[in-house]
Copies of this chain bind each other. A is one copy, B any other.
Amino acid sequence: MKRIYMDHSATTEVDPLVLDSMLPYFTEKFGNASSLHSFGQEAIEALSAARQQVADSIGAKANEIIFTSGGTESDNLAIRGVLAKKKNDTSRSQHIITSMIEHPAVLSTCSFLESIGYEVTYVPVDSEGVLDLDKLERSVRDDTSIISIMHANNEIGTIQPVKDIARIARDKDVYFHTDAVQSFGKIPVDVNEMGVDMLSISSHKIHGPKGAGVLYVREGTELEPFIFGGGHEQGLRPGTENIPGIVGLGKAMSLAKERLGHDPEHMLRLRDSLIDRIFDSLDDVRLNGHPTQRLPNNVNLSFRYVEGESLLMLLDVKGIAISTASACSSISKKESHVLSSIGLNADYIHGTIRISLGKDNTIEETDHVVQSLQESVGKLREMSAISKS
Docked-complex contact B238 and A104, CB < 8 angstroms: yes
Nearest-CB residue, chain B, relative to A228: B108
Q: CA A231 – CA B108 in complex, angstroms?
A: 10
CB distance from A336 to the nearest CB of B (A): 13
Q: Say whether A316 contacts B211, CB under 8 Å.
A: no
Q: Is A361 an interface residue (CB 8 A)?
A: no
A14-B26, A312-B37, A322-B37 as given contacts; A70 in contact with B240, CB under 8 Å: yes
In contact, A211 and B32 (Cβ under 8 angstroms): no
Question: Nearest Cβ distance between residue A186 and chain B, in whole angstroms?
Answer: 18
**Complex CA–CA separation, A330 to B38 (angstroms):** 14
Contact with B along A278-311 (1 / 0, CB 8 A): 0000000000000000000000000000000100
A133 on interface, CB distance cutoff 8 Å: no
- Known A31-B11, A37-B321, A321-B35; judge A104-B229 contact (CB<8 A): yes
Give how many copies assemble into the complex.
Answer: 2
Instruction: For A12, give the chain B residue with the smallest CB separation.
Output: B30
Residue in chain B with minimal CB distance to A70: B239
Given the known interface contacts A30-B14, A229-B104, A230-B104, the answer about A73 and B209 at a Cβ–Cβ threshold of 8 Å is no
From A5, A111, A238, residue with most partner B Cβ within 10 Å: A238
A157 at the interface (CB under 8 A from B): no
The answer for the CA separation of A324 and B34 in the assembled complex, in Å, is 11
Contact of A324 among B7, B36, B204, B241 (CB under 8 A): B36
**Interface readout for A317-345 with B: 1 if CB under 8 Å, 0 if not?**
00111111001111110000000000000
A386 at the interface (CB under 8 A from B): no
Least CB distance from A307 to B in Å reads 13
A389 at the interface (CB under 8 A from B): no
Q: Check if A13 is an interface residue, CB within 8 A of chain B.
A: yes
Taking a contact as CB atoms under 8 Å apart, the answer to whether A228 and B39 are in contact is: no
Residues of chain B within 8 A of A372, CB atoms compared: none
Contact of A327 (CB < 8 Å), options: B27, B35, B316: B35
What mask results when residues 238 to 278 of chain A are scored 1 for a CB within 8 Å of chain B, else 0? 11111111000000000000000000000000000000000
Closest partner residue, chain B, to A77 (CB atom)? B227
Q: Which residues does A use to contact B, with CB under 8 Å? A: 3, 5, 7, 10-14, 16, 19, 26-27, 30-32, 34-40, 69-73, 75-76, 103-105, 108-109, 111-112, 202, 204, 209-212, 226-231, 238-245, 309, 312-313, 315-316, 319-324, 327-332
Q: 29 pairs across A/B with beta carbons < 8 Å?
A: A3-B38, A7-B37, A7-B39, A10-B34, A10-B40, A11-B30, A11-B35, A14-B26, A19-B26, A32-B204, A35-B330, A36-B313, A36-B316, A36-B323, A36-B331, A38-B319, A69-B69, A69-B239, A73-B227, A73-B239, A105-B229, A112-B228, A209-B244, A210-B241, A211-B244, A226-B226, A229-B328, A240-B327, A242-B245
